[in-house]
Structure 1
Amino acid sequence: MNSAFESPIPPTAAPLLQGASNFRDIGGYRSTRGQRVRRGQVFRSDHLAGLTDADVARLQALGVGHSLDFRGVNECAATPYNIPGVQRVALTIEPTVIARMQALVAQGVVPTTDETVDLMRETYRDFVNRNAGTFGRFMKHLLEQPTPQVFHCTAGKDRTGFAAALLLSALGVERETIEHDYLLTNRLYRRDPRMEGNGHPHVMKVLWQVQPEFLHAAFDAVDAQHGGMDDYLYGAIGLTPQEVAELQRLLLED
């Protein structure tokens, strides 16, 4: 296996947290220059409202000082949390795919699997084009608060998945490795029917898992509409070359 492909989550590893199945360290991957992303600095996760006391102690032991929360207003109200010593930062991105799905259902339309995939692809293009400012604030927060942080949404797969892809791209990790990290969600995340709501099984399966096509839609939009990742980071995301270099200094081992 390519050394850049070394996963920080061994296949047989026990979950790091019991109350957040998709919590994981994004460290351990190698950049195209051979530098390894630092472990213990940035974590990605599903929502943190179900943490046990042991989980909270674990977060505190990891030194996590901030949680960057991409959930929408109703999602936060449904599953609020308050973790001692961890400051929650709202980076609100409403789950537009849910609204689109509800609109179809209201019209008596049941999307096919392919149509649901297309809705998800459109959602990822929206991340690139409509939510760049929010993802820019995410990147700048990592620069401004260089202590361990966790970022998350509800399932830790779409908004969180794109945020992880953006960060790893800025650190020089190749796309094949980024996709590997992205698809780990299908192995780790424990689906919760109470949060998914009612829906046709084929639709729910698409909405609550990840597929390479979703991430490819985002990367294609970055390349076709923004001139590639560097131009996207320096343009729509709002980082300077100096800030990207500082992010690399903070999060890459020498």
Structure 2
Amino acid sequence: MSSPAVDALQRALATAPGQPSRHVPLEGASNFRDLGGYRTAAGQQVRWRTLFRSDRLSELTAADQATLAQLAVRHSIDFRGADEQRTHAYTIATLQRIAIPIEPQVVQDMQALLAAGDALDAATAHRLMQQTYVAFVHENTAQYRQFFEVLLRHETPLLFHCTAGKDRTGFAAALLLELLGVPRATIEADYLLTNLLYRQPQLPDNHLPAPVLDVLWRVHPDFLHTAYREIEHAWGSVQNYAAEALGLNNAAITELRHRYLDVTPATPRR
């Protein structure tokens, strides 16, 4: 069934004739997609087949791995926490994994609430997810600084991912697109594509109500808006946050744009 929200996501997912598909269909990952083709306010375009975001890669099939090789992806930035990396490890011969662990704070917070005997509902889950994004801004600056260091150091194409490819990955993508000059409405549309693409895992009974799980396995504009509010309250702007917290001066941002933007739309490599 169509709705304005779904229609907006479909438009974000669509690409112009002659351009690659934004969503790369894989058997073992559902949220693997290209950040290429997004236009900046200055009229440039993010390069196709250069930056990819994804959910976890531990279930990729041989055919999926062949697709990665065909895309020439050589590096993966893995934002998953230590237990996630250990439980769902992956080794892909053509891919160098770079671990930048961000522990899933919302899981720890929920476990603490349950241990205290508190009930969980959708509103509580929503609040905990907002707190997770506050933590991204204030407590995970070292990890996101390292993320940009990798982007500036390694050859492309490359991908970055977490478990679902929605929160740790979504915040990283938002920061990157913001610094490349992509308008915020486009950034939010890309962020929300998770709700159209991600296949929630089949989990054993963990006694969490369905409305809580629905919050945990989806993204909401409030989550990203919370991060932006925190940045703008503490630093005044994303650009100031990048300079003061992430160590990205004007020269670094210029280099990011040189690496990842086309001055005019180019014919992409399929």
Q: TM-score range by the shorter chain?
A: over 0.9
User: Which one of 175, 179, 188 corresponds to residue 179 of structure 1?
Assistant: 188
Give the fraction of aligned pairs with identical amino acids, expressed as a percent: 46
Give the equivalent residue in structure 2 for 1:80.
Answer: 89
User: Which one of 201, 215, 220 corresponds to residue 224 of structure 2?
Assistant: 215
Give the equivalent residue in structure 2 for 1:71.
Answer: 80
Q: Identify if the C-alpha distance between structure 1 residues 91 and 9 changes in structure 2 by more than 3 Å, giving closer, same or farther.
A: farther
Whether the 8 Å CA contact 2:79–2:162 is kept in 1: the answer is yes
Q: TM-score, normalised by structure 1?
A: 0.94
Distance 2:236 2:216 in 1: 29
Q: Identify if the C-alpha distance between structure 1 residues 115 and 96 changes in structure 2 by more than 3 Å, giving closer, same or farther.
A: same
Unmatched 5+ stretches in structure 1: none
Whether the 8 Å CA contact 1:116–1:207 is kept in 2: the answer is yes
User: Which one of 89, 104, 129 corresponds to residue 138 of structure 2?
Assistant: 129
Give the equivalent residue in structure 1 for 2:118.
Answer: 109
User: Which one of 5, 12, 17 corresponds to residue 7 of structure 1?
Assistant: 12
SS in 1 for 2:45: coil
User: Which one of 22, 31, 39 corresponds to residue 31 of structure 2?
Assistant: 22
Question: Could you tell me which amino acid in structure 1 is paired with residue 101 of structure 2?
Answer: T
Distance 1:58 1:133 in 2: 32
Task: Please state if 1:247 is matched with 2:256.
Answer: yes
User: Which one of 14, 39, 53 corresponds to residue 48 of structure 2?
Assistant: 39
User: Which one of 150, 166, 182 corresponds to residue 175 of structure 2?
Assistant: 166
Runs of 4+ in 1 over 3 A off after TM superposition: 5-10, 12-15, 195-198
Q: Identify if the C-alpha distance between structure 1 residues 9 and 144 changes in structure 2 by more than 3 Å, giving closer, same or farther.
A: farther
- Aligned-residue CA RMSD in angstroms? 1.8
Distance 1:44 1:197 in 2: 28
Question: Could you tell me which amino acid in structure 2 is paired with residue 94 of structure 1?
Answer: E
Unmatched 5+ stretches in structure 2: 1-9, 16-20, 264-270
Task: Please state if 1:146 is matched with 2:155.
Answer: yes
**Residue 193 (structure 1) shift:** 2.5
Whether the 8 Å CA contact 2:121–2:209 is kept in 1: the answer is no
Distance 1:194 1:220 in 2: 33
Task: Please state if 1:58 is matched with 2:67.
Answer: yes
Q: Identify if the C-alpha distance between structure 1 residues 93 and 13 changes in structure 2 by more than 3 Å, giving closer, same or farther.
A: closer
Give the equivalent residue in structure 2 for 1:90.
Answer: 99
Q: Identify if the C-alpha distance between structure 1 residues 117 and 105 changes in structure 2 by more than 3 Å, giving closer, same or farther.
A: same
Whether the 8 Å CA contact 1:196–1:204 is kept in 2: the answer is no
